[in-house]
Amino acid sequence: MTGAIPRVDEASGRRAIFRPTDSHGKGGILEALKRKPTPDVADLVVLRNKQPRWNEQMQAYCLNFNGRVTEASVKNFQLADSRDETEATILQFGKVGKHAFTMDYAYPMSALQAFAICLSSFDNKLACE
């Protein structure tokens, strides 16, 4: 999964502004990500899935949710800033019960942005469980 949110200017504390100017998204975030030959991501935080690591004990690839996620699910994910070498998790979402999930997010993401990304992750995974 790849996502993007407007970058926050450290000096002013304000987010970069993206305002599509037509129905095709000209001037929007998606257009900036798709710009060729190189995307225009100076004003964006591009989020990518953290890659799971092999766990010898479980003999499987796993993500460390630090005890916050208790059930295996195709809907579980962690996103990190693609430019951050430490791979600090900005958003994590995972299953904790039959019909219950948990969502954790960190700066620079807002609650609304985090919820929208988590909600959109259900779109293509409805029949995966």
DSSP state of 42: T
How high is the pLDDT of residue 125? 55
* pLDDT confidence band for 81 (50 / 70 / 90): very high
State pLDDT tens for residues 1-29. Answer: 888 999 999 899 999 988 888 887 788 88
How high is the pLDDT of residue 128? 44
How high is the pLDDT of residue 127? 47
Q: For 47-73, give one letter per residue: b (16+ CB within 10 A) or e.
A: bbebeeeeeeeeeeeebebeeebeeee
How high is the pLDDT of residue 60? 83
Average pLDDT over residues 95-110: 94
Q: Evaluate if residue 30 carries a pLDDT over 70.
A: yes
**Average pLDDT value for the chain:** 87
Q: Are strands 2-6 and 60-62 parallel, antiparallel or unpaired?
A: unpaired
* pLDDT confidence band for 61 (50 / 70 / 90): confident
